[in-house]
Amino acid sequence: MFFSRQVIVVRLTRSTPKTRQVIVVTRQLDCRRTGINCEKEMAHACQLTGAHASIVHAKALLTDQVKLDDAHLLLLPGGFSFGDELGAAKAFANRLNQLRERFQEFVAQGKCILGICNGFQVLVKLGLLPGSPSQVVSLTYNDSCRFESRWAHHKVCPTPCIFTKDIEQIYLPIRHAEGKFVMSHVSLPQQQIVLRYTTAEGKIAKRYPDNPNGSQDAIAGICDPTGRIFGMMAHPEAALYFTNHPQWTRSKEKPLPKYGNGLKIFQNAINYIKESL
């Protein structure tokens, strides 16, 4: 018995006849395992930006029932695809590998891809991040040897990433067991390092718990050279409302803001689509 594999299609209708679509890809779940579980939150995030989201079968991408050419933003959500039994997102990446060239063509047309947590792991294992013919970086087991679930401070570095425009610092929830960013023989260009873990004071986090997984250079998110493929371990879709913040009841802001910092990631993407496509 299986749960349905899903894709979320978001249409952004403007005053012109043109429509914009966002596709959020998830995978088929064996009922005996855990799997992708953040697609509804990501769809809701897109809806908050003014887009309309609908959920369809992810198999449709693999069988051309849904045309990637009709979309402008592809979202890969977080969770535990295939139970992470072969390593985080490895099986899911193998499944999507037949779409790798189509994903590259998608971005070459000026369109965008966002991978969050498990989705970030997929992009890395496909080689779409940092953007090379084969996989040169990875996300592996946390140094703590346990699942980490809490909020973390992030510095947004100067990059061409369209998702982090006008953001300098961001506080977001993390929840992963394999989030340690490691590099092999390559040295990642500074302009592709989008997010770094920091202390509450804004200093680069060199040790646990501020660096929650032991990532090299405290790297928490990277982009490709175009800035239109972005992967991050934190979950902005879990910080859409101000009341998602763990200390919102202590806020002295009057009136309380309605939305949280996570929404900015999605709003930037939709704004880019409106202006550029």
192, 159 Cβ separation under 8 angstroms: yes
**Shortest CA distance to 111 belongs to which of 221, 7, 41, 21?**
21
Specify whether 237 is catalytic: yes
Specify whether 31 is catalytic: no
- Provide the b/e sequence for 93-121 (b: ≥16 CB within 10 Å): bebbeebeeebbebbeeebbbbbbbbbbb
Instruction: Give residue 178's identity as a one-letter amino acid code.
Output: E
Phi-psi sector, 26: left (phi>0), alpha (psi -120 to 50), beta? beta
92, 34 Cβ separation under 8 angstroms: no
Tell me the angle at which helices 263-276 and 39-48 cross, rounded to the nearest 10 degrees: 60
Specify whether 117 is catalytic: yes
What CA–CA distance (Å, rounded) separates 268 from 223? 15
3, 28 Cβ separation under 8 angstroms: yes
β strands within the chain, DSSP E: 2-3, 7-13, 19-25, 29-30, 52-56, 73-76, 112-116, 137-140, 148-156, 169-176, 180-183, 193-198, 219-223, 229-232
Query: Which listed residue (112, 117, 157, 223) is catalytic?
Result: 117
Q: What is the dihedral of CA 53, 37, 3, 142, to 10 degrees?
A: 150
Point out the residues that are catalytic. Answer: 117, 235, 237
